[in-house]
A and B are shown apart, each in its own frame.
Chain A
Amino acid sequence: MAKVVSLDNLLASVAARRSEAAPWLGALIDAASEKFAHVGLPNRRVEAWRYSDLAKALHETVKVEADLDTPPVLAEACVAAFENGVLNDTKSSYCAMGAQSLRKVLAEKDSPVAGIIGRVNPQADHPIINLNTALMEEGLVLQVPKGVTLATPLHLRFNWSGVDAASADGRHLRILVVLEEGAEATLFESHDGAPSFATVVTELSLAPNSKLTHVRLENFAAAARQTAATVGAIGEKAAYRGFYFSQGGHFARHEALLKLAGEEADARIDAAYMVADKRHCDNTTVMDHAVPNTTSTQVFRGVLAGSSRGVYQGCVKVAQAAQKTDARQLSRAMLLSHRAEIVTKPELEIFADDVKCSHGATAGELDANALFFLRARGIPEAEARAMLVEAFLIEAMDTVENEAMREIVIACAHNWMLRHAGEASHVE
């Protein structure tokens, strides 16, 4: 019987970790755990977690079923394979691109990451990032030297199969990617199976003129409980290109917390989420425009079936000095069932006057006229629905430039539709 994740268990684990930690890491753990102990596991009374009550989700019993999906295989990639939260070196090839196991790096007395990890875009009051910092054990560190373009993508392959024995305090994974000046890299992150409780924090430090392409895929089984954060700082003329796909889970949340830290820094996120049954899928973003002349664009498209719930919280911050900021966000949701729900919460905190900020949100059903048109041409209802759902998402999926990755993403969407698009064919 798995133990319930509780604050006491977590703090006991932190104390144990602290006693073994190198001094530099101990200081980091102390700061993080003190803050974490103060808030605890976030529940709905914490504003940012109002629509995604993690504390409650961790108390609910989940039925673990066999996962139908197998983790995607990306040809010609270096792989870091995490099996049930543990980096498996025999299934990995990350060394070929100079990446290192976080476990090893953390154990070093004078660790090269000492001044970097937890400091890329600090989130001092974030309960989950603090928890992750206090308990991080497994993960990966990738540093791409100045001017280097990595020809092959790094595939961070998280797979949760079988019963996760570490459920007393969950698994807390940490990724650190540092792109030095002018460097370029592609990250392909896939999440499969059902962690009983996992946190994943990905820190991205993008030096001037660097470019990171980040494709994340959450293909969780229904019982999965994970909350993840991508925390980044984007330097002058550097670019972040994110594509996120998620099927949600019992509790699946991902936050993109990006700081536009240098002039002409640019961040763009395109996302497609497809959620069915009783699943929960939370997409939260904070675009922090700290200096003048930066741009951010985010387009989230969601399809919600069954009695699922989607959450989109998009916050744009523009500092007083950040004139000429151009920030756009758009959330579009398609509800395939009357019991499905989308919560959209845009937030603007603008302190500069010469800025362009736009946000829009739409929620609607499948277009009945279009559906009839397709059926009148002989296309069966389920197939016609699938075509319209795919048409709604294709713009997002087309932004994935790497062909192999785009094919994987489209296949995921297609599989989802085979399972769920037809299910909405009767009026609910």
Chain B
Amino acid sequence: MLEIKDLHVNVFGKEILKGLSLTVPPGEVHAIMGPNGAGKSTTSYTLAGRAGYEVTGGEIDFYGEDVTALSPEERAAKGIFLAFQYPMEIPGVSTMNFLKTAMNAQAKLRNEPELDAAQFLRTVRAAAKELNISEDMLKRPLNVGFSGGEKKRNETLQMALLKPKLAILDEMDSGLDIDALKLVAEGVNKLRAPDRSFLVITHYQRLLDYIVPDVIHILAGGKIVMSGDKSLALQLEENGYDAVINKAA
């Protein structure tokens, strides 16, 4: 259960989030939609604990605990996962080695046993196959030379392996053609579970045809200005952000 209460966030001294409140119960899929510059990525980075995103007010409660003072790795270990809008390319770190390090690090932070080499390989191969990720991609340096679709599938693979309680998908659809989008959405849908919630962040309604949300929130000017069911997305599609937001105000 994620409860964001009256969150204020400064980025480089400028207030970007101005009293954002939001609750995502376990098992639900919530979407945050909003125009460019509304603060969507700011929300996702703040939840993940990125340096430079200074919380000046409010709190982020995750299963009853305020996580605003925790490091990114501690939040990850608690089950918060951010699928990046622009996944980093990291030359010199193989995808396989990265996955292993991440899985073992989280196991360690949670006081769980690490996977042995054989278990790890089996788990990764099975998950990769489902997402149509080749053995070759796993051997390559992390995201280096990957297409947009490959990067997003790789993010989905990480999510599948790390089994978060909350997955934040920041513009999962950006840079994807329709086939790639379907593949990624399918991967995400398979991960839906009663104890896992999703925060799907997007500018366009298109993604929500494939990942169908329980609730849609509209973010504008650093706040949630409106929440509703999935029909809200259609309204936005038809009338545009300005009309819908003005009506709400």
Residues of A whose CB lies within 8 Å of any CB of B are: 367-370, 372-381, 383-384, 387-388, 390-395
B20 to chain A: closest CB distance in Å? 20
B81 to chain A: closest CB distance in Å? 8
Known A-B contacts A377-B158, A379-B102; A372 and B50 likewise in contact (beta carbons under 8 Å): yes
The docked-state distance in angstroms from the alpha carbon of A374 to that of B162 is: 13
Q: A376-B81, A387-B101, A392-B92 are in contact. List 5 more A-B contacts (CB 8 A).
A: A369-B88, A372-B51, A374-B102, A376-B82, A379-B105
Counting contact residues on chain B (CB < 8 A from A), the size range is: 20 to 34
A61 to chain B: closest CB distance in Å? 40
Are B76 and A375 closer than 8 Å at their CB atoms?
Answer: yes
Are A391 and B92 closer than 8 Å at their CB atoms?
Answer: yes
Are A394 and B92 closer than 8 Å at their CB atoms?
Answer: yes
Are B73 and A379 closer than 8 Å at their CB atoms?
Answer: yes
A207 to chain B: closest CB distance in Å? 37
Residues of B within 8 A of A370 (CB): 88, 90
CB contacts under 8 Å to A, within B59-92, are 71-73, 75-77, 81-82, 84, 87-88, 90-92
CB contacts under 8 Å to A, within B148-176, are 158, 162
Nearest CB in chain B to that of A373: its residue: B88
Nearest CB in chain B to that of A384: its residue: B73
Q: List 5 A-B contacts (CB under 8 A).
A: A377-B106, A377-B158, A378-B102, A379-B73, A394-B92
Are A373 and B76 closer than 8 Å at their CB atoms?
Answer: no
Nearest CB in chain B to that of A377: its residue: B102
Nearest CB in chain A to that of B76: its residue: A378
Residues of A within 8 A of B91 (CB): 391
Known A-B contacts A375-B72, A376-B48, A381-B71; A395 and B92 likewise in contact (beta carbons under 8 Å): yes
Residues of B within 8 A of A380 (CB): 73, 105, 109
Known A-B contacts A372-B50, A381-B71; A390 and B92 likewise in contact (beta carbons under 8 Å): yes
Nearest CB in chain A to that of B77: its residue: A378
Q: Encode B30-58 as 1/0 by CB contact (under 8 A) with A.
A: 00000000000000000011110000000
A257 to chain B: closest CB distance in Å? 31
Residues of B within 8 A of A383 (CB): 101, 105
Residues of A within 8 A of B75 (CB): 376
Are A391 and B105 closer than 8 Å at their CB atoms?
Answer: no
Residues of A within 8 A of B50 (CB): 372, 376
A-B residue pairs, 3 tightest by C-beta: A391-B92, A378-B76, A378-B106
Nearest CB in chain A to that of B101: its residue: A379
